[in-house]
Structure 1
């Protein structure tokens, strides 16, 4: 918490003061949501929340969300936490429905947030965690990157993130994803995934896509390759998957032809006994 006011060592303070706060003040924004998907984002996120609370009186509510902050709230926030000096709530697990319900409650002027699912909030010096819902739908809206300074990213060509599924179909013993994402494994039709890639290509000119699925199933990677290859489009992409007997040399050749240039595999061990203890549900002979 000391770093939040340390202007010597916290570079985010001056950055936010020049890049963000004036816009919030000028547009009189009333709600701010900040995503914290990794531990490395925590200081920057709470720094921003602190500055907003101190310098942006129009903002009525600051909410954090994302994988990492969900795990932090779930595991560590049993009692009052200093974060709540600068934030009003934490949206745990998937955010689509909780966010809509939270905005409806705030818009109605209702200070009682107990009805908002998956919400962690403070009241009277205590922490309250509302009822949890498990979402079953998948948001197939075309992502909107308007407003991002896409030309300023340090990469030779624009890369945009897309996903084809939520959650993971396997619950490995060591993994934090099932506990922080929520809901069951659900997937988008590959035809819709390809359509989204085409729409993003038309709008932003990108040919390179990063699949951010927790696990991009091998069979679905093959189906995407079929869509791209049949269209004749020049796309490049990468993703993360699990070892599977369906991933043959022929399949890899097809995937490469479609523009896939990198696949990350979850290889935690090459020992079957250890894999079984981790509940990986993979076989050493699949790894090769």
Structure 2
């Protein structure tokens, strides 16, 4: 599937109604993101609907499908309409009959809110894989009454805002993405089995999106150091770029509604969870599937 549009962030996006297909797409910000109203994700799409949804996905980068109630099996079936699922790491594979569905939760072993919230650092999913994830699909199962937002940073816009000379400097640089080092930075020591399951991988710092041909920054918490540069110097450069790329002008904040299913493009976005709710009082439980991508270019 190939996206037919790319949204120019300087042009105010318009709503689109697909009358023949029974749904509409309404932009949620001028930068990116749109809600999709009128589709039932528990039912399979015909070819025309699947192509239209994928086109909207490439155009808006984040889609919020409203008013959904999916079982794990239905979420897997919906996801697989857009490509093969990407396996999760050993530590976050599903524990039941659905290993490809990772439960993102702040509940402890007793089912009580723990006060802890993961994924608070800016990242793109599975960037440490040789073929990083194309998309993530996240279904809100239990949400706090407010807060617990998911934030997205637009790496197209961040790259295009850099001076031409800096873009030229960054083109051609490669960055090592490391699941091991990113977990170590959060105070976690990984087992030898986990290390073998997710070895370090090198990617371009500026990647070309396979559908749009546009360039974007590719980094996040898994981006550990730049090849051919002293580690500390390379790390500082990555942190500088991340600070630039996650300015509010490049960010969309999704405020969850009950029944939301989010689908976003890992190839051109960073994302993180916002702990703007009482995580020791309220549950935040979401089911996550990831779609396998292609090697970076």
TM-score (norm 1): 0.28
- Whichever structure has more helix as a proportion of its residues is 1
Higher RCO (CA 8 Å, separation ≥ 6 residues): 2
TM-score (norm 2): 0.27
